[in-house]
Structure 1
Amino acid sequence: MSYLPSLPSDAVLLTVFRTYPTPAVPLLEYHEALLRSPSLLTIAQRELIAAYVSGLNACDYCYGIHTVTAEAFGLPEGTLTALIEDVDTAPIDEPLRPLLRYVAKLTRTPAKVTSADVAAVLDAGWDESAVHDAASVCGLFNLMNRLVDGLGLTADPGYRELAAHRLADHGYAHLKSLLGGTR
Protein backbone atom coordinates (compact mmCIF):
# COMPACT_ATOMS: atom_id res chain seq x y z
CA MET A 1 0.00 0.00 0.00
CA SER A 2 1.47 3.33 -1.04
CA TYR A 3 2.53 5.62 1.78
CA LEU A 4 1.84 8.73 -0.33
CA PRO A 5 -1.77 9.83 0.21
CA SER A 6 -1.99 11.31 -3.30
CA LEU A 7 -1.27 7.95 -4.92
CA PRO A 8 -3.70 5.06 -5.19
CA SER A 9 -3.22 2.33 -2.61
CA ASP A 10 -2.18 -0.08 -5.37
CA ALA A 11 0.46 2.28 -6.82
CA VAL A 12 3.43 0.69 -8.54
CA LEU A 13 6.73 2.24 -9.55
CA LEU A 14 5.34 3.29 -12.92
CA THR A 15 2.64 5.25 -11.03
CA VAL A 16 5.36 7.09 -9.11
CA PHE A 17 7.30 7.73 -12.34
CA ARG A 18 4.15 9.16 -13.96
CA THR A 19 3.55 11.38 -10.94
CA TYR A 20 7.19 12.55 -10.82
CA PRO A 21 8.43 12.23 -14.43
CA THR A 22 11.23 14.81 -14.26
CA PRO A 23 13.53 12.69 -12.06
CA ALA A 24 12.16 9.47 -13.57
CA VAL A 25 13.38 10.18 -17.12
CA PRO A 26 17.13 10.29 -16.35
CA LEU A 27 16.72 7.40 -13.93
CA LEU A 28 15.17 5.26 -16.67
CA GLU A 29 17.89 6.33 -19.10
CA TYR A 30 20.49 5.19 -16.57
CA HIS A 31 18.68 1.86 -16.16
CA GLU A 32 18.70 1.38 -19.93
CA ALA A 33 22.38 2.30 -20.29
CA LEU A 34 23.49 0.12 -17.40
CA LEU A 35 21.27 -2.92 -17.90
CA ARG A 36 20.93 -3.08 -21.68
CA SER A 37 24.07 -1.54 -23.20
CA PRO A 38 26.95 -3.79 -24.26
CA SER A 39 28.84 -5.21 -21.28
CA LEU A 40 31.04 -8.15 -20.39
CA LEU A 41 28.16 -9.09 -18.10
CA THR A 42 25.19 -10.49 -20.00
CA ILE A 43 21.76 -8.95 -19.62
CA ALA A 44 20.74 -12.03 -17.62
CA GLN A 45 23.72 -11.57 -15.28
CA ARG A 46 22.97 -7.88 -14.76
CA GLU A 47 19.31 -8.64 -14.05
CA LEU A 48 20.47 -11.42 -11.72
CA ILE A 49 22.56 -8.86 -9.80
CA ALA A 50 19.55 -6.53 -9.64
CA ALA A 51 17.39 -9.33 -8.23
CA TYR A 52 20.13 -10.62 -5.91
CA VAL A 53 20.71 -7.19 -4.36
CA SER A 54 16.95 -6.77 -3.99
CA GLY A 55 16.68 -10.18 -2.33
CA LEU A 56 19.48 -9.32 0.09
CA ASN A 57 17.60 -6.12 0.92
CA ALA A 58 14.31 -8.04 1.31
CA CYS A 59 12.70 -5.78 -1.30
CA ASP A 60 10.06 -8.19 -2.56
CA TYR A 61 8.85 -5.77 -5.25
CA CYS A 62 12.21 -5.49 -7.06
CA TYR A 63 13.28 -9.04 -6.23
CA GLY A 64 10.13 -10.46 -7.81
CA ILE A 65 10.21 -8.36 -10.97
CA HIS A 66 13.93 -8.74 -11.64
CA THR A 67 13.95 -12.46 -10.87
CA VAL A 68 11.33 -13.00 -13.57
CA THR A 69 13.22 -10.62 -15.90
CA ALA A 70 16.49 -12.53 -15.40
CA GLU A 71 14.65 -15.80 -16.05
CA ALA A 72 13.23 -14.32 -19.27
CA PHE A 73 16.84 -13.85 -20.40
CA GLY A 74 17.73 -17.48 -19.67
CA LEU A 75 18.52 -17.69 -15.96
CA PRO A 76 17.22 -21.06 -14.74
CA GLU A 77 14.21 -20.86 -12.44
CA GLY A 78 15.13 -21.25 -8.78
CA THR A 79 18.66 -19.87 -9.18
CA LEU A 80 17.96 -16.68 -7.24
CA THR A 81 16.29 -18.51 -4.39
CA ALA A 82 19.39 -20.71 -4.15
CA LEU A 83 21.69 -17.67 -4.28
CA ILE A 84 19.88 -15.93 -1.44
CA GLU A 85 20.22 -19.09 0.62
CA ASP A 86 23.93 -19.68 -0.13
CA VAL A 87 26.15 -18.31 -2.89
CA ASP A 88 28.63 -21.15 -2.36
CA THR A 89 26.17 -23.93 -3.19
CA ALA A 90 23.90 -22.16 -5.69
CA PRO A 91 23.85 -23.63 -9.22
CA ILE A 92 25.84 -20.87 -10.96
CA ASP A 93 29.03 -20.67 -12.98
CA GLU A 94 32.07 -20.56 -10.69
CA PRO A 95 33.31 -17.12 -11.88
CA LEU A 96 30.02 -15.56 -10.73
CA ARG A 97 30.60 -16.53 -7.08
CA PRO A 98 33.29 -13.92 -6.25
CA LEU A 99 31.37 -11.30 -8.23
CA LEU A 100 28.22 -11.98 -6.21
CA ARG A 101 30.17 -12.11 -2.92
CA TYR A 102 31.51 -8.65 -3.82
CA VAL A 103 28.00 -7.38 -4.60
CA ALA A 104 26.69 -8.87 -1.33
CA LYS A 105 29.41 -7.16 0.71
CA LEU A 106 28.85 -3.89 -1.14
CA THR A 107 25.14 -4.15 -0.26
CA ARG A 108 25.43 -5.28 3.34
CA THR A 109 28.61 -3.54 4.54
CA PRO A 110 29.80 -1.10 1.86
CA ALA A 111 32.38 0.58 4.09
CA LYS A 112 34.12 -2.78 4.54
CA VAL A 113 34.75 -3.45 0.82
CA THR A 114 38.49 -3.64 0.16
CA SER A 115 40.85 -4.03 -2.76
CA ALA A 116 41.03 -7.75 -1.86
CA ASP A 117 37.32 -8.08 -2.68
CA VAL A 118 37.90 -6.59 -6.12
CA ALA A 119 41.06 -8.67 -6.59
CA ALA A 120 39.02 -11.85 -6.00
CA VAL A 121 36.66 -10.79 -8.80
CA LEU A 122 39.56 -10.00 -11.14
CA ASP A 123 41.27 -13.30 -10.23
CA ALA A 124 38.09 -15.12 -11.28
CA GLY A 125 38.61 -13.83 -14.83
CA TRP A 126 36.51 -10.68 -14.84
CA ASP A 127 37.98 -7.38 -15.97
CA GLU A 128 37.62 -3.91 -14.46
CA SER A 129 34.60 -3.09 -16.64
CA ALA A 130 32.74 -6.05 -15.14
CA VAL A 131 33.58 -4.83 -11.63
CA HIS A 132 32.35 -1.36 -12.59
CA ASP A 133 29.12 -2.70 -14.08
CA ALA A 134 28.46 -5.00 -11.10
CA ALA A 135 29.08 -2.16 -8.62
CA SER A 136 26.86 0.14 -10.68
CA VAL A 137 23.96 -2.33 -10.84
CA CYS A 138 24.41 -2.97 -7.12
CA GLY A 139 24.31 0.75 -6.34
CA LEU A 140 21.32 1.38 -8.59
CA PHE A 141 19.28 -1.39 -7.01
CA ASN A 142 20.15 -0.36 -3.48
CA LEU A 143 18.70 3.03 -4.50
CA MET A 144 15.65 1.48 -6.17
CA ASN A 145 14.99 -0.78 -3.18
CA ARG A 146 15.02 2.23 -0.85
CA LEU A 147 12.72 4.17 -3.18
CA VAL A 148 10.21 1.33 -3.50
CA ASP A 149 10.24 0.42 0.19
CA GLY A 150 10.30 4.05 1.30
CA LEU A 151 7.15 4.78 -0.71
CA GLY A 152 5.38 1.60 0.41
CA LEU A 153 5.02 0.10 -3.06
CA THR A 154 3.93 -3.50 -3.49
CA ALA A 155 3.28 -5.63 -6.53
CA ASP A 156 1.11 -8.71 -6.79
CA PRO A 157 2.39 -11.71 -8.79
CA GLY A 158 0.38 -10.70 -11.87
CA TYR A 159 1.96 -7.26 -11.96
CA ARG A 160 5.43 -8.74 -11.39
CA GLU A 161 4.97 -10.91 -14.48
CA LEU A 162 3.65 -8.01 -16.55
CA ALA A 163 6.45 -5.66 -15.51
CA ALA A 164 9.15 -8.29 -15.99
CA HIS A 165 7.96 -9.21 -19.47
CA ARG A 166 7.70 -5.52 -20.40
CA LEU A 167 11.33 -5.07 -19.32
CA ALA A 168 12.46 -8.20 -21.13
CA ASP A 169 10.62 -7.34 -24.34
CA HIS A 170 11.13 -3.57 -24.49
CA GLY A 171 13.84 -2.58 -21.99
CA TYR A 172 13.80 0.40 -19.67
CA ALA A 173 13.82 3.15 -22.31
CA HIS A 174 10.33 2.07 -23.36
CA LEU A 175 9.01 3.07 -19.94
CA LYS A 176 9.70 6.72 -20.76
CA SER A 177 6.99 6.53 -23.43
CA LEU A 178 4.51 5.50 -20.72
CA LEU A 179 5.12 8.58 -18.56
CA GLY A 180 3.27 11.33 -20.39
CA GLY A 181 4.45 14.92 -19.94
CA THR A 182 7.11 16.12 -17.50
CA ARG A 183 6.57 18.37 -14.52
Structure 2
Amino acid sequence: MSAVPHFPSLPDDARLVDVFQRYPESSFPLLAYHETVMRGPSPFTLGERELIAAYVSGVNACAYCHGVHTEVAQAFGVAEGLLAAALADLDSSPVDDKLKPVLAYVGKLTRTPALVRAADAAAVFDAGWDEKALHDAVMVCALFNFMNRMVEGHGITADAEYFALSGKRLHDVGYDGLAKLLSD
Protein backbone atom coordinates (compact mmCIF):
# COMPACT_ATOMS: atom_id res chain seq x y z
CA MET A 1 0.00 0.00 0.00
CA SER A 2 1.43 3.33 -0.96
CA ALA A 3 -0.25 6.61 -0.17
CA VAL A 4 0.94 10.11 0.46
CA PRO A 5 0.42 11.31 4.03
CA HIS A 6 -1.88 14.25 4.73
CA PHE A 7 0.98 16.43 6.02
CA PRO A 8 3.23 17.97 3.36
CA SER A 9 6.21 18.08 5.75
CA LEU A 10 6.23 14.28 6.03
CA PRO A 11 7.97 12.09 3.42
CA ASP A 12 5.79 10.36 0.83
CA ASP A 13 6.39 6.98 2.48
CA ALA A 14 5.89 8.34 6.02
CA ARG A 15 5.53 5.92 8.87
CA LEU A 16 4.50 6.63 12.43
CA VAL A 17 8.15 7.01 13.43
CA ASP A 18 8.34 9.98 11.05
CA VAL A 19 5.47 11.65 12.91
CA PHE A 20 7.18 10.92 16.22
CA GLN A 21 10.42 12.51 14.99
CA ARG A 22 8.63 15.52 13.45
CA TYR A 23 6.64 16.23 16.63
CA PRO A 24 8.83 15.03 19.53
CA GLU A 25 7.19 17.27 22.15
CA SER A 26 3.98 15.24 21.99
CA SER A 27 5.41 11.96 20.76
CA PHE A 28 8.01 11.13 23.38
CA PRO A 29 5.59 11.43 26.33
CA LEU A 30 3.18 9.30 24.30
CA LEU A 31 5.81 6.59 23.83
CA ALA A 32 6.51 6.67 27.58
CA TYR A 33 2.80 6.16 28.18
CA HIS A 34 2.82 3.24 25.73
CA GLU A 35 5.61 1.67 27.78
CA THR A 36 3.54 2.01 30.95
CA VAL A 37 0.32 0.64 29.48
CA MET A 38 1.79 -2.02 27.21
CA ARG A 39 4.83 -3.19 29.16
CA GLY A 40 4.22 -2.25 32.81
CA PRO A 41 2.86 -4.60 35.48
CA SER A 42 -0.52 -6.04 34.52
CA PRO A 43 -2.66 -9.14 34.95
CA PHE A 44 -2.39 -9.41 31.14
CA THR A 45 0.70 -10.77 29.46
CA LEU A 46 2.55 -8.67 26.92
CA GLY A 47 1.01 -10.79 24.17
CA GLU A 48 -2.51 -10.35 25.55
CA ARG A 49 -2.10 -6.57 25.66
CA GLU A 50 -0.82 -6.55 22.09
CA LEU A 51 -3.77 -8.78 21.16
CA ILE A 52 -6.15 -6.22 22.68
CA ALA A 53 -4.36 -3.39 20.82
CA ALA A 54 -4.52 -5.24 17.50
CA TYR A 55 -8.16 -6.20 18.06
CA VAL A 56 -9.20 -2.60 18.80
CA SER A 57 -7.26 -1.45 15.74
CA GLY A 58 -9.01 -4.09 13.64
CA VAL A 59 -12.42 -3.00 14.91
CA ASN A 60 -11.45 0.54 13.88
CA ALA A 61 -10.19 -0.71 10.49
CA CYS A 62 -6.83 0.96 11.13
CA ALA A 63 -4.73 -1.26 8.88
CA TYR A 64 -1.44 0.26 10.05
CA CYS A 65 -1.91 -0.29 13.80
CA HIS A 66 -3.70 -3.59 13.27
CA GLY A 67 -0.87 -4.84 11.05
CA VAL A 68 1.96 -3.76 13.34
CA HIS A 69 0.36 -4.94 16.59
CA THR A 70 -0.77 -8.24 15.10
CA GLU A 71 2.91 -8.87 14.36
CA VAL A 72 3.93 -7.87 17.90
CA ALA A 73 1.20 -10.07 19.41
CA GLN A 74 2.37 -13.02 17.31
CA ALA A 75 5.97 -12.39 18.36
CA PHE A 76 4.76 -12.73 21.96
CA GLY A 77 3.07 -16.06 21.20
CA VAL A 78 -0.42 -15.20 19.94
CA ALA A 79 -1.28 -17.74 17.26
CA GLU A 80 -1.22 -16.61 13.65
CA GLY A 81 -4.76 -16.13 12.38
CA LEU A 82 -6.25 -15.67 15.85
CA LEU A 83 -6.91 -11.96 15.39
CA ALA A 84 -8.53 -12.44 12.00
CA ALA A 85 -10.79 -15.11 13.46
CA ALA A 86 -11.67 -12.92 16.46
CA LEU A 87 -12.57 -10.00 14.22
CA ALA A 88 -14.66 -12.21 11.93
CA ASP A 89 -16.64 -13.81 14.78
CA LEU A 90 -15.38 -13.48 18.33
CA ASP A 91 -17.81 -16.04 19.77
CA SER A 92 -16.71 -18.88 17.46
CA SER A 93 -13.04 -17.85 17.33
CA PRO A 94 -10.28 -19.89 18.99
CA VAL A 95 -9.61 -17.02 21.44
CA ASP A 96 -9.29 -18.36 24.98
CA ASP A 97 -12.70 -18.28 26.70
CA LYS A 98 -11.25 -16.16 29.51
CA LEU A 99 -10.21 -13.46 26.99
CA LYS A 100 -13.41 -13.41 24.92
CA PRO A 101 -15.35 -11.15 27.34
CA VAL A 102 -12.36 -8.80 27.51
CA LEU A 103 -12.29 -8.47 23.72
CA ALA A 104 -16.08 -8.13 23.66
CA TYR A 105 -15.78 -5.32 26.22
CA VAL A 106 -13.10 -3.39 24.32
CA GLY A 107 -14.92 -3.99 21.04
CA LYS A 108 -18.10 -2.48 22.45
CA LEU A 109 -16.13 0.34 24.07
CA THR A 110 -14.61 1.07 20.66
CA ARG A 111 -17.78 0.79 18.56
CA THR A 112 -20.40 2.21 20.93
CA PRO A 113 -18.78 3.61 24.09
CA ALA A 114 -21.99 5.14 25.45
CA LEU A 115 -23.62 1.69 25.45
CA VAL A 116 -21.10 -0.03 27.75
CA ARG A 117 -22.92 -1.22 30.86
CA ALA A 118 -22.15 -2.83 34.22
CA ALA A 119 -23.23 -6.16 32.72
CA ASP A 120 -20.35 -5.89 30.23
CA ALA A 121 -17.91 -5.43 33.10
CA ALA A 122 -19.58 -8.25 35.03
CA ALA A 123 -18.88 -10.62 32.11
CA VAL A 124 -15.17 -9.77 32.38
CA PHE A 125 -15.23 -10.32 36.17
CA ASP A 126 -17.18 -13.58 35.76
CA ALA A 127 -14.42 -14.83 33.43
CA GLY A 128 -11.98 -14.51 36.33
CA TRP A 129 -10.46 -11.07 35.77
CA ASP A 130 -10.26 -8.44 38.50
CA GLU A 131 -10.75 -4.67 38.40
CA LYS A 132 -7.06 -4.05 37.65
CA ALA A 133 -7.37 -6.24 34.56
CA LEU A 134 -10.47 -4.43 33.36
CA HIS A 135 -8.76 -1.09 34.00
CA ASP A 136 -5.73 -2.23 31.99
CA ALA A 137 -7.95 -3.43 29.13
CA VAL A 138 -9.76 -0.08 29.10
CA MET A 139 -6.43 1.78 29.02
CA VAL A 140 -5.09 -0.32 26.11
CA CYS A 141 -8.40 0.22 24.30
CA ALA A 142 -8.32 3.98 24.91
CA LEU A 143 -4.67 4.24 23.87
CA PHE A 144 -5.26 2.42 20.61
CA ASN A 145 -8.41 4.31 19.76
CA PHE A 146 -6.22 7.40 20.16
CA MET A 147 -3.39 5.91 18.11
CA ASN A 148 -5.74 4.76 15.35
CA ARG A 149 -7.02 8.29 14.98
CA MET A 150 -3.50 9.70 15.08
CA VAL A 151 -2.37 7.34 12.30
CA GLU A 152 -5.45 7.90 10.14
CA GLY A 153 -5.41 11.66 10.76
CA HIS A 154 -1.81 11.91 9.54
CA GLY A 155 -2.49 9.62 6.57
CA ILE A 156 0.10 7.02 7.58
CA THR A 157 0.13 3.70 5.70
CA ALA A 158 2.44 0.73 5.30
CA ASP A 159 2.58 -2.78 3.88
CA ALA A 160 3.03 -6.25 5.35
CA GLU A 161 6.80 -6.03 5.04
CA TYR A 162 6.86 -2.90 7.21
CA PHE A 163 4.39 -4.41 9.69
CA ALA A 164 6.79 -7.34 10.19
CA LEU A 165 9.79 -5.03 10.61
CA SER A 166 8.02 -2.70 13.04
CA GLY A 167 6.46 -5.60 14.95
CA LYS A 168 9.84 -7.25 15.46
CA ARG A 169 11.36 -3.95 16.58
CA LEU A 170 8.61 -3.33 19.15
CA HIS A 171 8.88 -6.90 20.39
CA ASP A 172 12.64 -6.61 20.77
CA VAL A 173 13.07 -3.10 22.22
CA GLY A 174 9.66 -2.05 23.50
CA TYR A 175 8.30 1.46 23.45
CA ASP A 176 11.04 3.01 25.58
CA GLY A 177 13.59 1.40 23.26
CA LEU A 178 11.79 2.89 20.26
CA ALA A 179 11.98 6.34 21.87
CA LYS A 180 15.72 5.86 22.44
CA LEU A 181 16.23 4.77 18.81
CA LEU A 182 14.34 7.84 17.60
CA SER A 183 16.28 10.24 19.78
CA ASP A 184 19.68 8.91 18.63
TM-score normalised per structure 1: 0.97
Partner of 1:136: 139
- Find the partner of 2:162 among 156, 159, 162: 159
Distance 1:54 1:176 in 2: 22
- Would you say the 8 A contact 1:17–1:24 is kept in 2? yes
Per-residue CA distance 1:16-60 (angstroms, 9 max, x = gap) = 000000111110001001111121011100000000000000000
Q: Runs (4+) of structure 1 moved beyond 3 Å?
A: none
Distance 2:17 2:27 in 1: 9
Distance 1:90 1:26 in 2: 36
Name stretches of at least 5 consecutive residues in structure 1 with no aligned partner: none
Name stretches of at least 5 consecutive residues in structure 2 with no aligned partner: none
Task: Give yes or no for the alignment of 1:175 onto 2:170.
Answer: no
Task: Give yes or no for the alignment of 1:44 onto 2:44.
Answer: no
Task: Give yes or no for the alignment of 1:12 onto 2:15.
Answer: yes
- Would you say the 8 A contact 1:21–1:179 is kept in 2? no
Per-residue CA distance 1:130-183 (angstroms, 9 max, x = gap) = 0000000000000000000011000122211111000000100011113338xx
Partner of 2:29: 26
CA RMSD, Structure 1 to Structure 2 (Å): 0.9
Deviation at 1:9, TM superposition (A): 1.0
TM-score normalised per structure 2: 0.96
Task: Give yes or no for the alignment of 1:127 onto 2:130.
Answer: yes
Identity of aligned residues (%): 57
Partner of 1:110: 113
Distance 1:26 1:86 in 2: 36
Distance 1:163 1:80 in 2: 18
Distance 1:11 1:128 in 2: 39
Q: Secondary structure at the match of 2:145?
A: helix
Distance 2:93 2:170 in 1: 25
Per-residue CA distance 1:72-123 (angstroms, 9 max, x = gap) = 0000000000000011011111111111110100000001111111111001
